[in-house]
Structure 1
């Protein structure tokens, strides 16, 4: 190898760490807080910007003290911060199958900030526990109940939710087979954090080692008990974030 090639390779090797440091510096500058402002971006499940998302700065000291803002077409927001301690929250509304849902967005940080400003970015998640406590989640809630005269043990019941069309974010979803004490069916009468969508629901019970079909009812529709029905999540009332459904299990 001649001296020119050796020198070129040597200089290139030296340049790589410098380029990497420059890239890291530019990334840090892009995420640096702007004094006096809360800034950030809001994106959907595919990483695309969400326009019109509502960003709320909640004062963590004084009750019912808020500053409101919203995102532009590029998914970015910029809100002037007053003196105090603030936490950022974000929601947006989504039309799906003729209903309007208010959905809470996941923050990249939950610590409070002051008038020096902060960067808080938000992402739409179909499911997952919220960062503050284990009681909040981004999916839908299903209330379960037993029909009059149904005394079987729910430990032997399996619910199957099969997507009927795309989920609320346009993704295809997947079939969910739910048993008591699994990821979604955590408590006897509560199924939590189901990705919001339209599902065909069926139920079976294991008897003598064999599954036996059950009849079920959509409590909100007050229809007949049937082997299967189409389940639609209903938006929470008064524009609150969340969605709910209800299944009555019978024999």
Structure 2
């Protein structure tokens, strides 16, 4: 038996068949819109992740006003590494830090924002941040230089421009990744942007190995020294340095 439908019923069936898929797509899009970079007015939100893209819970988020010194809003990321903050009118930018224990030392590391452009508090923004232990910083709002550590060579009477430093990673780097052997000449006594980790350090000139030690630690000179980075100066956060003293 073949069933027949009134014209109005057929129209309703066709309307439902065509509209239902589009309604589902729209609903899914709305659910994931925060991850698509769609800001909400008066709100800055985002996420913080580690080097492997995993969430960073309890990361500190600081939203700074571009016009007024020390005028900021603070938050911490939740268990999923996400944050959301309401803002007042003004111009703002986002910074973040995370704490890591490595080589029996406490590190406070700056997080890299996916955008460092200022934004209006009334318009809101999405700013995601990620952990980096090397690479160039944004260069905006004082965020200059590199995320990697700096090695400074102290070599009284020795030509550092002819010196070759070798840094062999000892275990994984600070972010858990596998490091690579670094062989380089210091530039005006400095090696910049060294991925943060623990290294076995040697030095040589013309193939002749020199004696090395970590400066101002009371160590004896040796053929090699193993060390990790320390704050660039007392109380420094986000900037780390390794001072190597070299002698014949």
User: Under a length normalisation based on structure 1, what TM-score does the superposition of the two structures give?
Assistant: 0.80
**Contact between 1:90 and 1:122, CA under 8 Å: does it hold in 2?**
yes
The equivalences for 1:195-214 within 5 A come to: 195-206=195-206, 211-214=207-210
SS of 1:105's equivalent?
Answer: strand
The runs of at least 4 aligned residues of structure 1 exceeding 3 Å deviation read 25-30
Per-residue deviation, 1:247: 0.5
Partner Cα separation in structure 2 for residue 244 and residue 154 of structure 1: 18
> What is the root-mean-square deviation in Å for CA atoms of aligned residues?
2.3
- Please say if 1:225 is aligned against 2:221: yes
Residue 129 (structure 1) aligned with residue 136 (structure 2): yes
What CA distance in whole angstroms lies between the structure 1 residues aligned with 2:119 and 2:90? 8
Q: Deviations over 1:86-118 (max 9, x none)?
A: 110111111111111010011111111122210
Q: TM-score, length-normalised on structure 2?
A: 0.81
Q: Which runs of 5+ in 2 are unaligned?
A: 1-21
Residues 5-64 of structure 1: CA distance to partner in whole angstroms, max 9, x if unpaired? xxxxxxxxxxxxx9xx98xx6776642101211100110000000001111011100111
Measured after TM superposition, the shift of residue 239 of structure 1 is 5.4
**SS of structure 1 residue aligned to 2:166:** strand
Give the direction of change, closer, same or farther, for the CA distance of 1:36–1:97 in structure 2 (3 Å limit): same
Cα-to-partner distance string for 1:166-215 (whole Å, 9 max, x where unaligned): 111112211111124xxxxxx31222111111111011111xxxx11111
- Name 1:40's counterpart in structure 2: 46
Between structure 1 and structure 2, the one with the greater Rg is 2
Label 1:101 to 1:216 Cα distance change in 2 as closer, same or farther (>3 A). Answer: same
Which of 63, 67, 90 lines up with 2:69 in the alignment?
A: 63
Alignment correspondent of 1:144? 153
Partner Cα separation in structure 1 for residue 166 and residue 115 of structure 2: 35
Deviates more, 1:231-240 or 1:105-114: 231-240
Q: Which runs of 5+ in 1 are unaligned?
A: 1-17, 181-186
